[in-house]
Chains A and B, each alone.
Chain A
Amino acid sequence: MSAPTRNRPEPATLPPPDSVRAAHRTHPGWWVLVVFVMLCVLALVRMLFTNPNLQWDVVAAWFFSKSILLGLMRTLQLTVLSMLIGIALGVLTAVMRLSPIPILSSVAWFYIWFFRGTPLLVQLIFWYNMAALFPTIQIGIPLTGPTFWSGDANVVVTPFVAALLGLALNEGAYMSEIVRGGILSVDHGQNEAASALGMRSSRAMRRVILPQAMRVIVPPTGNQVISMLKASALVSVTSMPELLYSAQIIYNRTFQTIPLLIVASLWYLIVTTILSIGQYYVERHYARGGRRSLPPTPVEKFRRRLNSLRSRMSPKEAR
């Protein structure tokens, strides 16, 4: 450090680097924008408190009512079940699409093409009216074999089953592409190493490829869960009493439309918030071995900030 000072003598007054604070110079235009945004936020907050049409007392009264909570349960049930079926379908069709057998890969392609290419709302109404297309449902070997079981479509395909089928089949098509992208993101050398160690391809997929693909699959899947939660509101058109339809039933009777929509929206927000937190930790789990050190959890971040604050308050003690 002392060598290059021959030509350029260091000013003796320069403070030690620790105490230098970098100064940000802010363009005046930013201040105008800040003031404008602040005014908008204030207006919004004031509206929330003062607008009588919001009827917060009504919101509070219905928030934990039995029919709303039942609707919420139904929404959660639909989301979880259709997500699980969708993920299973997605993995299956992704593996089919990547298989070297042309029939399997084209069937998977067709499935994705169809269910991504038509609106979810149309699919839901379609499943709801399935009895008009297939009056009886049979389970057996297609075209040739015996029938193991058959039943009346109106009895089997209840509104819940119709909603589940619609959401899950649609979700499967999207998950398929997500899973396929994840599998393709894993280095080919991993497959070779697994084969060279004597693993069969099914085992290599389960133990080596999919766990690594998860790092790519999980973030968009988290998004899918959140969209699914909200997409399940579409089911209300088939008079399935999920969260939104439960709210609608009430406001059709009481005409308290806005407060009940607020009740439903708040519940959706609460659940998506919980889901986002869950997603963060799942992502962390699958980041193992990916980075040299894992990012801190919010709790760790909070603790660190608290510590640095404490040391700033009493600098002498900290030094």
Chain B
Amino acid sequence: MTEHIEDSGRPVVLRVTGLKKRFGSLEVLRGVNLTVLQGEVMCILGPSGSGKSTLLRTMNHLEEVDSGRVELDGELVGYKQRGSRYVTLPEKQLAAQRARIGMVFQNFNLFPHMTVLQNVMESPIGVLRRPSREVKETAMGLLDRVGLADWSHAYPRTLSGGQQQRVAIARALAMKPRLMLFDEPTSALDPELVGEVLDVMKGLAADGLTMVVVTHEIGFAREVADNVLFMDGGYVVERGHPDDVLGNPQERRTKAFLSKVL
């Protein structure tokens, strides 16, 4: 495998090139390029319908692409190249790729028939085939980290939204992912619960986890992101350091969006 090193000396974890995607006649992504380095946090902002969630979902192939490529550690995600064509990967290999990419959803999507601890342990045991004693130890450590060790035997529906989202984060982390994707992780939460989830995410960023976050939390982006991507109409309109994009936007659409949400 070729080493992907950018100027900073850190390896490239995720590279998206010329990504296009349409739903019927609607073009959702019209050629998106981006690079995420190891340990970097990228926040994707934009009005609804701008294609930011779709972009995130192509990164672990929950969404097929029409053209362009997504690479994780230099390896094509979801497809293999055969001659000049891309062929969808067999399910087994696709699942193995997804196991390396954690994902946190807007609606948590915890498994309601399992306890908190079972949610976290399910995939490390079932997919990675790690011994259950070791997994349990890791899982309890992660639950402790998100502040829910006392709730390990509760069922998800008995928890608040903020607690559920923290369990979802622990569940994704239990797979020891190379990259974490967050799809509007605080959008379904009551305002007073947003903070506890963002605090956990800040902690992960500080520990050097590579993260791509689709969010409406401008404050979080400003504080935590290394890179901000502003999207509109399927294009990346503006990108760069949060101080520039959020503090001194150059594009008209960025300014208009920020003036509405700030």
Residues of A within 8 A of B (CB): 187, 189-190, 192-193, 195-201, 203, 207-208, 211-212, 286, 288-292
Contacts and interface: CB of A to CB of B under 8 A. Distances in A.
Given A200-B91, A207-B126, A292-B157, A195 B62 contact: yes
B109 A193 contact: yes
Contact of B175 (A187, A198, A286, A288): A198
A125 B156 CA distance: 51
B252 interface: no
B126 A211 contact: no
13 contacts: A192-B62, A196-B98, A198-B98, A207-B126, A211-B113, A212-B112, A212-B113, A288-B113, A288-B155, A289-B115, A289-B156, A289-B157, A290-B157
B109 A199 contact: no
Interface stretch (B16-24, B100-108, B208-216): B100-108
Contacts of A193: 103, 105, 109-111
B157 A196 contact: no
B82 interface: no
Contact of A197 (B112, B113, B123, B158): B123
Contact of A190 (B62, B96, B109, B155): B109
Chain A at the B interface: mostly helix, strand, loop or mixed? helix
B149 interface: no
Contacts of B91: 200-201
B122 A207 contact: yes
Interface centre among A207, A289, A291 (most CB of B within 10 A): A289
B126 A203 contact: yes
Contacts of A207: 122, 126
B105 to A, nearest CB: 6
B69 interface: no
Nearest to B99: A198
Given A190-B111, A289-B112, A289-B113, A196 B92 contact: no
Interface of B: 60, 62, 91-92, 95-96, 98-103, 105, 107, 109-115, 122-123, 126-128, 155-158, 171-172, 175
A198 B123 contact: yes
A200 B110 CA distance: 17
The 4 closest A-B CB pairs, nearest first, are A198-B99, A193-B109, A196-B103, A289-B155
A217 to B, nearest CB: 13
A201 B94 CA distance: 11
A203 B115 CA distance: 18
B95 A199 contact: yes
Contacts of A200: 91-92, 95
A207 B99 CA distance: 16
A192 B60 CA distance: 11
B109 A195 contact: no
A189 B107 CA distance: 8
Nearest to A287: B113
Nearest to A286: B113
Contacts of A198: 95-96, 98-100, 123, 127-128, 175
Nearest to A195: B98
Contacts of A192: 62, 105, 109
B105 A199 contact: no
A291 B114 CA distance: 13
Nearest to A293: B158
A287 to B, nearest CB: 9
A195 B78 CA distance: 12
A189 B105 contact: yes
Contacts of A290: 112-113, 157
